[in-house]
Structure 1
Amino acid sequence: MHSYQRHLKIMATVLLWFAMLLFAGTALAATVEASWRLTLGTAAVAHGTRVTLGEIAHPVGDLPAQQWERLAAIELWSAPEEQGKQHTVTTEKLTKMLRYYLGDVAALCVTSGHLVIQRGGKVIDGPELERQVVQALTSRISGLRGEVSLRDFRLPRQVFLSDRQSNIEVSVAGRFEPGRLSLQLTEMDAGGNAKRRYTGGVFLDQWLNVPCALRPINSRERLTPDAVGFKRKNAAYLRGELWDGRSFGQRVQRSVGAGEVLYQDNLEDVPLVSRGDILTLVFQGQYVRLTASAKALSDGKLGQRILVENLSSKREIAAEIRDAHTVVVR
């Protein structure tokens, strides 16, 4: 008799374990085979006293609308008590709370880390914030020459607004020019009043065809059409006023390497007389006029006095430039 009862207890235990394993296997299979998931962001807004699943998650995949409606209405933990107040839920705590309130459904939730919840208002996430920045800057970008684009957005991960009717106003702090732009993001309420301010940044590229040296150009060498051309450069990395690419009556002050950009501040007008030129030196007196050969010791323009060396006497004399070949001593 005792042996029989012991046998029944063993059979009952085995059946219980088998049922538990079967249930666990079924639940696991349901989780794995589900064609949908619930994704949670890093920021959400709660409009009631308790946070609902629909406020912190959104469905991805083939989740029937009626089923999601039921799930979205599930109340979770308490929301922040005061309007506009925020509360941060750590990743570990978020995982535990989802299991507590959702049971097996928690296995279908995909989290992105910690979650910040605000009572009331609205939240703008990173992608939407980036879209608004692009929209705000488009009108100013359209007036720029060349190929223009925005990249390397450095914006808040999300922005909380204190009221549903508020919006974000984007402005550029400082000069609007190629390169890194500093942005100010201001929350404006329905009455046009500034409420909160955030900062950010974005990089503006402007690709232009600019004048460059096609070969090395030595210091004091005149610009000639065969030595220059146009190449595609990013204006964000250009510094200074560019040469116009057409005024060839100039020369470079400092040497320029092949492929380098030609800047206006490195150019100067070609002088009428250049250092080393052989000139006619005229001694003009009241009753006498003498001439000699001389070498220019510096550059000079028409009417300017420069030092020249008399090639016969080797003396240095100050003379006035009359033309490209003549200097005069009076």
Structure 2
Amino acid sequence: MATAARPRGTASPRPRAPSPRPCALLLLLLIGSAAAADRPRQSPEALEAAAEAFLEEALAEAYEEVEVTARGLDGRLSLRPCNAPLEAFIPHGRDPLRASTVGVRCTGEAPWTVYVRTEIEARSSVLVAARPLQRGARLRRSDVSAAMRDVRRIHGQWYTDPQEVVGQQVRRRLRQGEPLTASQLEAPVLVERGERVLIEAGRGAAIRITSRGRALDDGRQGERVRVENLDSGQEIEGRVIGEGRVRVGF
């Protein structure tokens, strides 16, 4: 029987190479994962400890009680172990008290840098209102007391020395135990409009003349106010130098 002739230029089909079986691919992935798991890596706990110790040391001298807790470091982080001491730093030179992130870097053979989120509690003894205080009240020593507070939660400048606040005037109502801050206090009004004042005139301590007057303005320490000289009826201007006292020059 005659056989059909193969057309010229047509290559005989080659057998296809068998494709890898799914189980073989899975085995390769497992082997690769096992090798990666066995590779030494930098301990995340060591990174957190370095960040916490750095901030605690930076704040220890300024505050009585400091507690720093590292947050949010990914436990799956895979870094080559550092063969040099870890270095912690505050990004962009921020105030340590307000630092929410601490950088930790390795300067060894394989350098790297990571950033660790932190939570800070810094407690100190600060002045607080010893009782409820009404707006306009002049602070006495018995109106203030000391209490431990987390200063990160205090907005504004706080006080530790009673001498800094005694005699100051409360700008708004304060609750008992509320920390005293600069924005809540102001210099008291020493001369009130319409009240009788003592007018002092002179240069230096050698010459001093006093007369009776009536304030035409409210005034705090060092402010200039208008007063009426009750002896002459003349309106003059002077500087408040004390409670109910105004000094004028001549």
Provide the TM-score with structure 2 as the length reference: 0.63
Tell me the equivalent position of 2:158.
Answer: 242
Q: Deviations over 1:104-138 (max 9, x none)?
A: xxxxxxxxxxx993685x32344343233334444
Q: Does 1:215 align with 2:134?
A: no
Please identify runs of 4+ aligned residues in structure 1 that moved more than 6 A: 281-284, 309-312
Aligned residue pair count: 212
Runs of at least 5 residues in structure 1 that lack an aligned partner in the other structure: 1-74, 80-88, 90-114
Tell me the equivalent position of 1:155.
Answer: 73
1:178-327 pair list within 5 angstroms:
178-190=97-109, 195-247=111-163, 248-252=165-169, 254-258=171-175, 259-270=177-188, 272-275=190-193, 277-280=195-198, 294-301=214-221, 305-308=224-227, 317-321=235-239, 324-327=243-246
State the SS of the aligned residue for 1:133: helix
Counterpart of 2:167, as a letter, is Q
Tell me the equivalent position of 2:11.
Answer: none
How far has the Cα of 1:238 moved from its partner? 1.8
Verify the 8 A CA contact 2:42 2:82 in the aligned structure 1: no
Aligned identity (percent) is: 18
Structure (1 or 2) with the greater helix fraction = 1
Cα distance 1:278–1:119, how it changes in 2: closer, same or farther (>3 A)? same
The structure with higher relative contact order (CA 8 Å, sep 6+) is 2
Cα distance 1:290–1:269, how it changes in 2: closer, same or farther (>3 A)? closer
In 2, Cα distance between the equivalents of 1:297 and 1:260?
Answer: 33
Structure (1 or 2) with the greater strand fraction = 1
In 2, Cα distance between the equivalents of 1:116 and 1:317?
Answer: 94
Counterpart of 1:240, as a letter, is G
Cα distance 1:307–1:195, how it changes in 2: closer, same or farther (>3 A)? same
How far has the Cα of 1:176 moved from its partner? 4.1
State the SS of the aligned residue for 2:30: strand
In 2, Cα distance between the equivalents of 1:200 and 1:145?
Answer: 22
What root-mean-square deviation, in Å, do the aligned CA atoms of Structure 1 and Structure 2 show?
4.1
Tell me the equivalent position of 2:52.
Answer: 134
Provide the TM-score with structure 1 as the length reference: 0.50
Q: Deviations over 1:125-158 (max 9, x none)?
A: 4434323333444433433421111125222324
Verify the 8 A CA contact 2:48 2:70 in the aligned structure 1: no
Cα distance 1:306–1:136, how it changes in 2: closer, same or farther (>3 A)? closer
In 1, Cα distance between the equivalents of 2:224 and 2:82?
Answer: 76
